[in-house]
Amino acid sequence: MNQPLSRWQRLWRWLKHPLWLGIPIGIFVLVLMGAGFQGVMVASNQNAFCFSCHLSMDTIVQEYKASPHYVSDGDVYATCADCHVPHPFIDKMKVKIAATADIYYMMTGKITKENFEEHRPELAQMVWDDMEADNSANCRHCHAGDNFLLSEQPQRARLNHVQMDKRGETCIDCHTGIAHKRIVIK
């Protein structure tokens, strides 16, 4: 019965997924050609682009939809890209290139829905390392100034936040699992 799919069958099954025809291929071709550069960057930052792979590939999207930054399909506090794509332009390019590598890994079957959980700790660690390295810059892009008033926070939050700079802590030190299943590495 259940014959394992060959690499080519898997590639084909993946390519014929309808979402593929529209958004991502077009975006990648445009990125590679360097055409309409700025516009492409904005378009690929929308959730639909990230969903096109992550919806069927793993459980990331479902978890995000149950998290506090998601309200409804038309209304979110933060998109995937808001948390994961760095703001400065050079960093954006770095992430685009890494995303192209992601395609390669998916085609060669390194990550599948079946083995996703095994790979999660290593993927989560990559994200944590990025956030440690830039002092959780993407979180701070929104949670700053009037959107991060210590005086308006509940005591437990305030007591932690007031000390974090002095203690050399950053958002992700305490807020892991904010958008996905919390991964614990021991």
Binding residue (CB under 6 A) for ligand HEC from 15, 35, 126, 185: 126
Judging by beta carbons within 10 Å of its beta carbon (0-12, 13-18, 19+), is residue 167 exposed, middle or buried? exposed
The β-bridge partners of 70 are 76
> According to the binding rule CB under 6 A, does residue 10 interact with ligand HEC?
no
Q: Closer CB to ligand HEC, residue 31 or residue 53?
A: 53
Q: How many CA atoms lie within 13 A of 155 on its CB side?
A: 0
Q: Cα 69 to the chain's mean position, in Å?
A: 13
The sign one gets for the Cα dihedral 15, 17, 21, 22 is negative
Site map 74..93 versus ligand HEC, x via CB under 6 A: ---xx-xxxxxx--------
Which residue, among 120, 44, 50, 43, has the nearest Cα to 80 in the 3D structure? 50
Span from 3-11, 31-39, 73-81, 86-94 in contact with ligand HEC (CB under 6 A): 73-81
Binding residue (CB under 6 A) for ligand HEC from 173, 184, 185, 186: 173
Tokens representing residue 9 in the block: 């069958």
Q: Closer CB to ligand HEC, residue 3 or residue 75?
A: 75
Q: Which residues bind ligand HEC (CB under 6 A)?
A: 24, 44, 49-50, 52-54, 60-61, 64, 68-69, 77-78, 80-85, 98-99, 102-103, 105-106, 110-111, 120, 123-124, 126-128, 136, 138-143, 153-154, 156-157, 160-161, 164, 169, 171-180, 183
